[in-house]
Structure 1
Amino acid sequence: MNIESKTVKINKSSQETFDFLNNIENFEKLMPESISKFEVLDTDKFLFALKGMPEIVLKRKEVESPNKIVLGAGGGKIDFNLTGHIMAIDDSTSEVKLVFEGDFNPMMAMMIKNPITKFIETLAENLPKSV
């Protein structure tokens, strides 16, 4: 399953945007209002839960400054990645697209597609306001 957010414009350089996303603590600012728990586990890992959903641990897996950050499942029964693609527009503007990739059986994919799509879109919408 592959879900992409819309591309959002950010009034910061690609390096500033990268630095924001590379700081795990900043993901709390991007979370939807329905968040019920957010906890930084270490410098590369955080846990969050949305109301009515199980806790999810995300761990930083790969960084390519200032263009890409990959977070992946930090445990649990499902394996997935959330990648932030950062593109420089000019010295003071960048764009970000979030891409969720996971390999799920058809039943699981059907159950999680809408909630994950809404979650990814919320993260993207909150980025320009938070960076």
Structure 2
Amino acid sequence: MTIIQNSCIVNKPIEEVYEFLQDLNNHEQLMPDNIYNWSSTKDEARFTIKNMAKLSLKISQRIENQEVVCVPLEEAPFEITLRWKTQQESSEVTKATFVIEAQLNMMMKMMAAGPLQKLADHQVARLKEILG
């Protein structure tokens, strides 16, 4: 299992950060420019990664103010789980961690690890920009 992650500190209460993350409609704002054909509901999102693949994700688990877990809705090129974890640092400060867990063989790891790390880095940076 390959685990890729990044974290950021957001100057908002944990409830506000969790509320944003638990709705997949908000995740389009976190995506990089190479994502298009986005469509979503609160629980599902479908999009295309330029020159790569179409993906469909669904929320498989929500633990209030702690974690949101997304898994593929349809068959994906490899097993993957996307996990947002929130942790209260103080009443007005939240640590948000984006974790990508992917089942990659050596060949896929060489090809996908870099882009997946860039995705994690981009999403936490955008979350910090959007929520302050």
**Could you state the TM-score of these two structures normalised by the residue count of structure 2?**
0.91
Map 1:78-97 onto structure 2 (within 5 A): 78-97=78-97
Give a deviation string over 1:35-88, Cα, whole Å, max 9, x none: 222111x43110122221211111101111101111111211422101111111
Map 1:62-77 onto structure 2 (within 5 A): 62-77=61-76
* Unpaired segments ≥5 residues, structure 2: none
* Unpaired segments ≥5 residues, structure 1: none
Which residue number corresponds to residue 25 of structure 2?
A: 25
Inter-partner Cα distance in structure 1 for 2:34 and 2:98? 20
Name the amino acid aligned to 1:2.
I
Identity of aligned residues (%): 23
Inter-partner Cα distance in structure 1 for 2:35 and 2:102? 22
Which residue number corresponds to residue 111 of structure 1?
A: 111
Name the amino acid aligned to 2:125.
E
Q: CA deviation at 1:89?
A: 1.2
What's the C-alpha RMSD, in Å, of the aligned pairs?
A: 1.2
Give the secondary structure class of the aligned counterpart of 2:32. coil
Number of aligned pairs?
129
**Could you state the TM-score of these two structures normalised by the residue count of structure 1?**
0.92
